[in-house]
Amino acid sequence: MRLALKLLMLLMLTVLSTDQLLASSGTETDIATGVETDTRGAPGDEEAIEEPDEIRMLTAARAGLHGSAYWLVENVDGWFGERPFDEGGRVSGSLRVRGLYREDDGFSNDVRYQLRVQMPNVSETAYLFIGRDNEEELVRDESSAFARSQLLLPESGSDDQTFFAGIGYLLRDNLDLRLGVRSGYKLFAQARYRKIWWLTDDANLEFRQTLFLAVDQGLGTTSALDYAYALTPRTAFRWRNSVTLSTETDGAGWSTSLGLFQAFGRERKLSLEVLAGGETDAPVPTREYGVRAIWSQPVYRDWVVGELILGHFWPREDDDPERDRTWAAGLGVEMQF
């Protein structure tokens, strides 16, 4: 564990030295339903016990990230009224660093962050979101299961990823509107809807729909349909699907996965999936298919989480005469605050 923590500290110092900050809410996800609930305390709540230097530095870094974000947001919220920030205000975030290796592309790294804020003097139904993420996935609001980082596909930090900021407004519990800017000047807008139907006590169907309009990404919509069935209290089967139609895609961009998910307690989780994706009107409709295994567990307390991904894929580009086959692996650490 100490080796993993040292790795995280080294990665954080590298990130912070280039003025990169991050955040995203700390949650616990039900193995069958995918519903998330907050499970961690605020930074600084840890007991005052004798700890190694690496742990003290890590705890101080987390408290500093949360404290600086909280101070900034609290002051900005004060511009709009006199209501105390602790009456409905919330700041949560995460910083994730990941290294990837793929036989056909070599090594790459990935740094992402998000910060989500609710300010009581602005509105109880409004929130701010800030971060750094894949530009296309951000605009299209694609499922995290099919993110390039989860598929172990390389990214260029300058070409594929972008800084973003925006404001969201909750019209209802399952419907919100978002307006944001990315790459400094590119506007995007989204309308997002979510609905869950419980088919039985052990099975549910979740539908998500996002309409988007963005500079350089055009007009489009992303639909996601996920089926989950709890085989046991700790084991679930999930079938996840996503389809995107836009002025920038060849037909419909699609992704699908079938998998088993196992929880082992203490937030340790294992998943095994078969998955595929492509575009319907492309010369090669199925861009890639493969198998993927993901293991995740807390590395320290419940707010430093490690993740190991192993995959074997069969990709094919439009101009390739036949499919390649490649192994891939990813190792990541996420700090939640």
Task: Write the pLDDT tens digit of every residue in 108-166.
Answer: 888 888 888 888 887 778 888 888 888 899 999 988 899 988 999 887 665 678 899 99
Strand partners, 172: 175
Beta-carbon contacts of residue 71 (< 8 Å; ≥ 6 apart): none
pLDDT of residue 39: 46
Contact call for residues 280 and 252 (beta carbons, < 8 A): yes
Mean pLDDT of the region 185-192? 95
* pTM: predicted TM-score of the whole model, two decimal places: 0.78
**Using 50, 70 and 90 to split pLDDT, how confident is the model at 42?**
low
Q: Is the pLDDT of residue 107 over 60?
A: yes
Confidence bin at 20 (pLDDT 50/70/90): very low
Q: Are 275 and 269 in contact (CB under 8 A)?
A: no
For residue range 139-150, list pLDDT tens digits in order: 999 888 999 889
Give the CATH H-level superfamily of domain 2-336.
monomeric porin ompg (2.40.160.40)
Percent of the chain with pLDDT over 70: 84
CA torsion through residues 79, 121, 185, 11, sign? positive
Determine the length of the chain. Answer: 337
* pLDDT band at residue 6 using 50, 70 and 90 as cut-offs: very low
259, 273 Cβ separation under 8 angstroms: yes
Domain ranges of the chain: 2-336
Q: Which carries the bigger pLDDT value, residue 154 or residue 227?
A: 227
What's the one-letter identity of residue 328? A
